[in-house]
Amino acid sequence: MYAIVEIAGQQFKVEKDQKVLVHRLENEEGSQVEFDRVLLLDQDGKIKVGNPVVKGAKVSAKIISHLKGEKVKVFKKKRRKGYQTLNGHRQYLTQIQVDDILLA
């Protein structure tokens, strides 16, 4: 059983007991969260596609930790002009563990 759910503006394919890194959520570590924007649901081969969401479907998860992603280096250069600049960026992320996929 899996579901495609929209979390913080992005779509993720999730299964039970799976750990997922998503954009930073406002809730605290250890708290439970529910996502009701389930776009597709697969139960033992029966696929339900939402229009745009599956009615009554929810994904419950637990926030494990807040962390920062890998550093991404952004390097810009114009040849023969003496221009070059280096910037770095680390995305704020939240690690969640999917507890259950429910269909009411």
Which of 18, 55, 1, 20 lies closest to 10, judged by CA? 20
- What span, in angstroms and rounded, lies between the C-alpha atoms of 35 and 25? 12
Distance CA 35, CA 86 (A): 38
pTM of the model: 0.84
26-65 pLDDT, tens digit each: 999 999 999 999 999 999 999 999 999 999 999 999 999 9
Which band of pLDDT confidence, cut at 50, 70 and 90, is reported for residue 104? Answer: confident
Residue with tokens 């003496």: 82
Total domains present in the chain:
1
Q: What's the CA gap between 10 and 37, in Å, rounded?
A: 11
Residue 95 lies in domain: 2-103
